[in-house]
Structure 1
Amino acid sequence: MSSFTTSSTSNKSVADGTCTLDDGRRIAYDICGAKNGHPVFHLHGWPGARTEVSLFAVQAAELGARIIAIDRPGIGLSTPQPRRTVLDHALDIRQVAKHLGLKEYSVMGVSGGGQYALACAFMISPEELRSVALVCGQGPVEISLRGMKFGNQIVVRGFQYCPSFIRLLMHGVSWTLKLLNMDRMSNESILQRVQTLNRWNLLGVPEMDRKVMADPDTMLAVITSVREHFRQGVDGCLEEGRITTSHLGFDLRDVKRNVRLWYGREDTDVPAAIGEEIARQLGENSTLRLEDATHLSLVVDHQRPILEDLLDAAGYRRIAMAED
């Protein structure tokens, strides 16, 4: 277990709820938005956690969505599940839905949550899973990395061909952060350092993302989510890397329902080319939207149209109007 864990004073240490699964594992979740709105499972990024849902709280409440964000196994407050697959996690989502008494719901996979959303589209019936969206979501590892920045390509190829090196690297980073007392710093102190680096453009992020990072509330949400991702150490993150660079366990051509795809033309973390290839493999079972956005700006600045489209695809707005 790595030493890079978060202190209980630095971020949220209690989940809104937990679900004990059939095998005894625990899945933690946070909920935001409209109390009686259409349920949407938010599948967090990598590295990310259930607290990422706070980014969507305002828009969800306004649009009538009840967003449920869950920690994947070994992340945040959820029990580890060694050697799991994306299909295993789709089964977890069904159990959480049953625990919450949900007969129908939607799924939104953001960034590293993309593969899990695709697994849900493959495994769960349309009568239960009403709509699916990928927001700059990762796809099958076989897809070309064209357009992805070099650092991300190194991580992907490292997990594929030399995972022991990535493990050593991550443990080294965690020990370095501990030596710098970063694990004991408050989120606000980390935010000040990030904003200083951002102000001098030392992080090398695109201009659109720099504008998003200038907002303190957004960045505190991101920092909290990343730190919660490492609450149990680096093992959960390493397991995510293994899964991300493994075969999905199914063919996208076997997905028999529409999947909404949202990608940014300026995204170099999960480039638009990945979304285009996913759309090609899904064929008529996809709706691709390309926006003039980068990775972070797509998630933050395009929340409203993404949620509106997801709710429309679920038939929620039509049903709500009929009730009126």
Structure 2
Amino acid sequence: MDSELRIGTRVLNYSRYGHSGGVPVLSLGGSPSTRWKRPEVVAAIADAGLDVVFPDRPGYGGSTRQPGRTVAAAAADAAALADHLGWSAFAVTGGSGGGPHALACAALLSDRVTRCAVVGGIAPPLTDGPQPTQADEDADPRRNETSWLAAHEPASLRPLFEQSAAHIMSAVEAGGPEFPPDPGTPPGPPARDDAEAMARLTATFVTSHDGWYDDLVAFARPWGFDFADVAVPVRLWYGSADERSRRYAELLAGELSAERVEYAGGHIPPAPAYREVLGWLSR
């Protein structure tokens, strides 16, 4: 169900899935992403008996843009949304670029957040020094070119987004699936034949790149909270075929004293792994 919340002069759009009486969970999407979820995700939420809300961060999916926002700003929006929904306490999860925002909620809303699951998340990048090379990134994923550009030459990001989005949509138009398959698994059905899949892809990669841009710029600046303030249980999930996320999880685990969990798959968790995350959040 699509809804909106007004926060001052801004609109925050969100979708709600599952059971209204279930354990409340706030789920923060990647960079980029949409609040509209695939059928297998919706089914997993329903089976878990949870009440899961997916907001579109400012600049995504019709949510009013908030230029210059920090990662920590997500906590204020989360609190406003929880108040609106009547949630006194809730679990939070974030996938990929949603991971930092979920951790912000865990740090800054420790009196309300019960536990925090991060799936394929990132650690704060290192943007000092000269522009990183691939060898630099191979040695430490925090030293990556995209984050360096976000810190030093942010105007260069939008052409990169356009190239990436064009490549993804060209593959879809040629008959590709909504998501690339994990290694060794067959691809899904052609996304171009599924109107809802095309709506999700268009919202994520075509309609606007503002949220994507603002996310990456926010990641390359101080996040606005301390890992030491995260006082709730945290688990860090990553795929067996996602080496980058594994290395980030190792870095974050040291900062957060969090448990790491590897699942079989790539950056996007397959259904069994996603159900495991939901089960942990519901405890």
TM-score, reference length from structure 2: 0.83
Hey, what does 2:130 align to over in structure 1?
none
Partner of 2:68: 83
2: distance between equivalents of 1:227 and 1:66?
Answer: 26
Instruction: Provide the rounded CA distance (Å) in 2 between the counterparts of 1:192 and 1:67.
Output: 34
Q: What is the deviation of 1:191? A: 6.1
Trace 1:55-66 onto structure 2 (pairs within 5 A): 55-66=40-51
Comparing 257-266 with 153-162, greater Cα deviation is found at 153-162
**What does the per-residue CA deviation read over 1:232-266, in whole Å, with 9 as the maximum and x for residues that have no partner?**
52222211211122221223133222211111232
Which residue number in structure 1 is paired with residue 4 of structure 2? 18
Identity %: 27
Deviation sequence 1:139-165 (CA, Å, 0-9, x none): 22249954899xx94433332333222
1:165 equivalent among 149, 156, 169:
156
Determine the structure 2 residue equivalent to 1:99.
Answer: 84
Contact 2:110 2:230 (8 Å CA) reproduced: no
Task: Give matches, 1:77-226, under 5 Å.
Answer: 77-126=62-111, 128-142=112-126, 145-146=137-138, 153-170=144-161, 190=172, 193-195=175-177, 206-208=182-184, 210-211=185-186, 213-215=187-189, 224-226=199-201
Is the 8 Å Cα contact of residues 90 and 119 (structure 1) preserved in structure 2?
yes
Distance 1:54 1:79 in 2: 27
3-state DSSP of counterpart to 2:36: helix
Q: Which amino acid aligns with 1:214?
A: G
Task: State the AA in 1 paired with 2:51.
Answer: R
User: Normalised by the size of structure 1, how large is the TM-score?
Assistant: 0.73
Aligned partner (choices 283, 291, 302) of residue 263 of structure 2: 291
- Structure 2 residue aligned with 1:4: none
Task: State how far apart, in whole Å, the 2-side matches of 1:246 and 1:16 are.
Answer: 32
Cα offset for 1:41? 0.9
Residue type matched to 1:131 in 2?
R
How far apart are residue 225 of structure 1 and its match?
A: 3.2
AA of the residue aligned to 1:102: W
Deviations 1:151-185 (A, max 9, x none): x94433332333222234445677x78xxxx7xx9
Match runs of 1:34-73 below 5 Å: 34-52=19-37, 54-73=39-58
Q: How far did 1:195 drift?
A: 4.4
* Alignment coverage as a number of residue pairs: 271
Q: Which amino acid aligns with 1:37?
A: G
Relative to structure 1, is the Cα distance of residues 171 and 214 closer, same or farther in structure 2, using a 3 angstrom cutoff?
A: closer
CA distance in 1, matches of 2:3, 2:241: 37
Q: Which of 281, 285, 291 in structure 1 is aligned with 2:255? A: 281
RMSD in angstroms over aligned alpha carbons? 3.2
- Structure 1: 5+ residue runs without aligned partners? 1-14, 313-324
Residues 191 and 105 of structure 1: is their aligned pair in 2 closer, same or farther, counting only changes over 3 Å?
farther
**Displacement of 1:138 after TM fit?**
2.0
Distance 1:239 1:246 in 2: 11
Q: Whose RCO is larger (CA < 8 A, sep 6+)?
A: 1
**Which consecutive residues of structure 2, in runs of 5 or more, have no partner in the other structure?**
128-135
Cα gap change, 1:64 to 1:172, in 2 (>3 Å): closer
Larger Rg: 1
**SS of corresponding position for 2:175:** helix
